[in-house]
Chain A
């Protein structure tokens, strides 16, 4: 069938560079994968059990479009307790199918054709495409290793035009693990307030912060009115496959998003919502245990990478490290392909997360210490062979 039937903007979308490595890696044997962007833990049992129970009780019908009110209340309690930002569960919270859907409908609710959205790269692969699909124009700004992959207020200021409508920020960041602290967020907020820009703040990794508690952009003075706080259960509660996220923000925006959600999704899966409710009520200990484990693995991997000659920042959060591979003289893709071929270790080349990721690779440490140890041994052998 001819592609002439396909929408132009869909034809123009670049396929994700991650796909290529998935195809390569899945054909090989004995691969140690540091390419997985999700927890290696299974969802805490109490959450699974609560979801079973809801099914046994017959909770198999739709919920309210915005999600179970009980769950929205648990979310507002959590946001209040964890970040000191208060939202009204009735009309300022929307439960979504993963944080990804929240990002999609936030953009669709905000953008008119041609509106510009600032995207800070390196970043999660979906942002730019989601902006394009919503009729907007992504304008990229590069966070560089000189500033530990943290975007600065000046860089954002320089990217602002009279068409700028919004910015997508992700802290702690995928793929760099960089965390913007309260001071840095406050400087950025001044630019956003000055130019009347809406912030879509992807805080899905907020709980996975290892050195200090993460600050939400919505906590920063003057930002709650212009921030769509997006988070979910995937990363902190190891619930990626449940597809459950949420957005909290100003009433008008959340209501507009709910309108799109109501016509396209109806509501997030009911059994997943019951699981999420249990996660928020009784899941703290599990999150703390997993966070401790990630912190130890982060320390281990950063030390091992620096020892083998791949310079690597100690990232503050998420479960990724983003070492430089420039010492080998290879491009990110060459490095990743050769490493897979010669030592059967899968990593993701940094350039798939944006041009400024060139010269870097993303290694996920959401893998057992035994596997990480094996991966570091293999990588060390590889680097020794290829370092210039």
Chain B
């Protein structure tokens, strides 16, 4: 087990990183991470750059794969007939010589039902987040696709009953301004 953890740690350290980013690029990343819809003109004013320069910075960060995409956090549970089912699955696997966990991870993350895959330290190896229309659909994916993969030793499926917070956003947040209108 310990060897397994060490291997994972060393392995993670070796991952390619985007180095040497300017402070303003970090600021830009943090702004976009919080709100992908901020327009370049607004960002420009906030970080004291022209909108053109912001476009250029974004293009560079996209090219360097520091920015991988833009998405919207949707609370599907509030959309009738689209509520869906989500599960987190703990997966134990046998790492393969030479490619470690990467190969098996890529076998798993290519399934469109799989929304996220993480290599974990601790009691299991991969944490797999899966979404489907029904519980049956997710169960079928686990039993037919995931657990039948050669290197998968075991799976433990946890269905998500309610989402309170995701990616830093609280689902039922009360965002009323509780301050008085004008104060000294």
Residues of A within 8 A of B (CB): 16, 18, 21-22, 25-26, 31, 33, 35-38, 40, 124-126, 174, 292, 296-297, 299-300, 303-304, 346, 348, 369, 373
Contacts and interface: CB of A to CB of B under 8 A. Distances in A.
Contacts of B179: 36, 38, 40
Contacts of B184: 16, 18, 37, 124-126, 174
Contact of A303 (B45, B177, B180, B182): B45
B45 A36 contact: no
Most chain A C-beta atoms within 10 Å of own C-beta, residue among B179, B183, B184: B184
Given A296-B27, A300-B42, A369-B38, A348 B182 contact: yes
A253 to B, nearest CB: 26
Contact of B181 (A35, A304, A373): A35
16 contacts: A21-B182, A26-B180, A33-B181, A35-B182, A36-B180, A36-B183, A40-B177, A40-B179, A125-B184, A126-B184, A296-B31, A296-B47, A297-B46, A300-B46, A346-B181, A369-B38
B62 interface: no
B48 interface: yes
Contacts of B181: 22, 25-26, 31, 33, 35-36, 346
A126 to B, nearest CB: 7
A325 B118 CA distance: 55
B47 A33 contact: no
B103 to A, nearest CB: 38
Interface residues of B, number: 16
A124 B183 CA distance: 11
A369 B34 CA distance: 12
A21 to B, nearest CB: 5
A22 B46 contact: no
Contact of B27 (A31, A125, A292, A373): A292
Contacts of B42: 300, 369, 373
Contacts of B182: 18, 21-22, 25-26, 33, 35-36, 346, 348
Interface in B170-184: 177, 179-184
Which 5 pairs between the two chains have the least Cβ-Cβ distance?
A35-B182, A296-B46, A22-B182, A300-B45, A25-B181
Interface centre among B27, B30, B181 (most CB of A within 10 A): B181
Tell me which of A21, A126, A299 has the highest count of chain B C-beta atoms within 10 A of its own C-beta: A299
A37 B179 CA distance: 9
Given A296-B31, A304-B45, A38 B183 contact: yes
B47 A18 contact: no
B183 A18 contact: yes
A292 B182 CA distance: 24
Given A16-B184, A25-B182, A373-B42, 11 more contacts: A18-B182, A22-B182, A22-B183, A35-B181, A36-B181, A36-B182, A125-B184, A299-B45, A300-B45, A300-B46, A303-B48
Contact of A35 (B31, B38, B46, B183): B183
A37 to B, nearest CB: 5
A296 B44 CA distance: 10
A195 B27 CA distance: 47
Contacts of A36: 179-183
Interface in B6-53: 27, 30-31, 38, 42, 45-48
A35 B38 CA distance: 24
Nearest to B180: A22
Contacts of A304: 45
Contacts of A125: 184
A33 B31 CA distance: 23
Nearest to B177: A40
B183 A37 contact: yes
A21 B38 CA distance: 32
Nearest to A20: B182
A24 B179 CA distance: 16
Nearest to B37: A370
Nearest to A289: B30
A33 B182 CA distance: 7
A369 B180 CA distance: 19
A36 B180 CA distance: 7
A380 to B, nearest CB: 13
A373 to B, nearest CB: 6
A49 to B, nearest CB: 15
A299 B180 contact: no
A25 B38 CA distance: 29
Interface string B147-184: 00000000000000000000000000000010111111
A37 B30 CA distance: 26
Contacts of B38: 369
Given A18-B184, A38-B183, A369-B42, A299 B177 contact: no
